[in-house]
Copies of this chain bind each other. A is one copy, B any other.
């Protein structure tokens, strides 16, 4: 359909972007050097919650800084706001992005939705290992524990510079108090 380079889609929420994500992109780029990787930033409209502490723009910046630091090219972040209708989600993503030939994810729901839509979905083994990392990194930030071994150096600096730990702690307090939202 397209004359340009073939493309793959790697979907995640990247809260925050961590080493598992970076290694996955490196593996995709190595396996298919001609393929551009679209990095779909899911739940782009969310921020300042325990599950989604960072805005799409902040996640975009962390990804871009990490890719530069790792000398990875041909990987492009794209914010994808939720539409809250699972049955339309694949068609919605198709309307937002240029054509892609392959999807990378370990999320079982993303997998079933794209497979139902006729896509080839791959889950690199290495990817599997990072399964719980997003949740663990957010918990570590909330506690004030160091996360340097879990995220690329550029992300560690970003989190520090933007006082991510204080933000997570404020958000956490809110959730500790039932029924408290603005």
Contact = CB atoms under 8 A, between A and B. Distances in A.
Contact of A91 (B13, B61, B91, B98): B91
B99 A61 contact: yes
A98 B60 contact: yes
B4 A86 contact: no
Contact of A92 (B43, B61, B65, B88): B88
Nearest to A47: B87
A79 interface: yes
B98 A179 contact: no
Contact of A86 (B49, B94, B112): B49
A134 B179 CA distance: 9
A99 B45 CA distance: 17
A170 to B, nearest CB: 4
A57 interface: yes
B87 A88 contact: no
B55 A87 contact: yes
A27 interface: no
Nearest to A91: B91
A35 to B, nearest CB: 14
23 contacts: A47-B85, A47-B86, A48-B86, A48-B109, A48-B113, A51-B179, A56-B95, A58-B98, A60-B96, A61-B98, A61-B99, A64-B98, A81-B81, A87-B91, A87-B95, A88-B92, A107-B177, A108-B174, A109-B174, A109-B180, A109-B181, A109-B182, A112-B167
